[in-house]
Each structure stands twice: as structure tokens, then as C-alpha cells.
Structure 1
């Protein structure tokens, strides 16, 4: 038996489908926010490191360890934000955030260093740290 309101069901379902499409996540905007936040956290922590090194006369080895921790902390924060926002494939979105963060760091490093890379192994290690820590951040984000 055909009811008279069956025609309206298609209209209502079409409207709900359009509303779902409008609510789709826009990862580009959130990725930009996450990378800016990662850079801001890095800058803040590196500033604190420079003040502590100046006041306490810490050695180069301590500074290198703290810089690695800065990369990891920033990566976890960015990956967590992307994973929490996207909710699906969180590890992958964390990895994307880490890659974007690494490329921003690389660009800054090339700009400051006059366009030359000094140590390829250190760059590779930094890339692995950025990717792994942000991927972990994405995985621990609530789904």
C-alpha cells in the first residue's frame, strides 16, 4: 500500500544527506591550526631552554636532549589535535601533522642556514621523531 507521505521521505532524506555533507571535517584548516600550535609550543619551549641555559650554563649535550624533547612534545600535541578533530584514521592524521611540522622546521632551518643542510643524519632523525611522536599523539587522541 502506498501512503501519500512517501514522497516527502525522499525530500527529507535528501536534506539530511546535504546536512551531513556540510558537517564534513575540513582537515586543511585544522592541520594549519595544529602546525601553528606546534611551532608556537616549540618556540616557547626553546625560549625557556635558552633562558635556562643562559642562567645555568648548561652544556651542549643537555641542550640537544631538550631539543629532542621539544620535537616530541610538539609532535604529540599536534597529532593529538588532529586525531581528536578527525576521529577516523587518527594515526594517519597525526602522521600528516608531523610531516607538515617537519617540513616547516626544514624550511626554517634552510632559511636560517643559508639554504644548506649541514647534517643529513640529524635531519633524518628529526623527521622520524616528528612523524613518530605526532602519530602517537594521533593514536592516543579520543575517538
Structure 2
């Protein structure tokens, strides 16, 4: 038994439409395209969005808003409780340590958020910190180091 013999069974497979293979096939002569006209020609038909010369909808509707898509800064987010659970007994957490533990994808920008508690003084290195995370780390006697995000342009 081979993989192609498993499923779907041969009788359940739909046969391909073979056009232009003689009048006996039912799709000979004009190959199911009718007689003459733009759609009967090779390469015929109109482009997507064409409305027969009428002003197309994408040009009739006004443009709205602003998009900062190209310059948007995306962060891998890590909460304090997750950070303290992953680094118990560690006094210094570098960006490389965060990548090595799999908390963030290697090379991504990291932001630390303030959900959860941190018990002891820790020096944390990341690209960005929320105000609550910064306050909690410093309240526990730790310090933060912000690294500038480098955008590849």
C-alpha cells in the first residue's frame, strides 16, 4: 500500500477539467469560454477592482487616519512575576540571559511590565520598562538599565 492509495479514494477524487481537447469532451472548440469577446481571448479579462470604467470604490472612498506601520516598535513583553520566577537567586539579569532562558525571541526588543512582585534587589537590563515595573524594581533595592532599540532600516 502506498500513500496515494490511502485517502481520498480514487473514486472520490474530482477529475481535472481538461479544456480544448476535442468536441467529444464537452469542452472543446471554444473551451467553455463562449464565442468572442474580451474573456474569450488569451490574457483576457479585467484587472481586480475594475468596474467597467466607473470610478472604482478604492478611489471613490476617502483615505482616513495615519499609519506608523514602517516605524512601529514591537516589544516582547515580560512581566515581573515571570522574570522573578525564571531568575530565582540571580542578582543581575542581562538581555542575553533573557534570550537564553527563552523568555523572548533572540534579537527582539524586550519590555518589562509591572505585573507581579519582585522580592530582592536585582539589576535588570532591557530595552524598555513600564513605570510600575521601574518603581517596583527600584523599591526592592534593584536598578534598571535601558538599552536603546536599534531599528534595522
TM-score greater than 0.5 by the shorter chain: no
Higher CA-based Rg: 2
Q: Which has the higher helix share?
A: 1
TM-score (norm 2): 0.29
Higher relative contact order (Cα pairs below 8 Å, separated by 6+ residues): 1
The structure in which a higher percent of residues are strand is 2
Q: What TM-score, normalized to structure 1?
A: 0.30
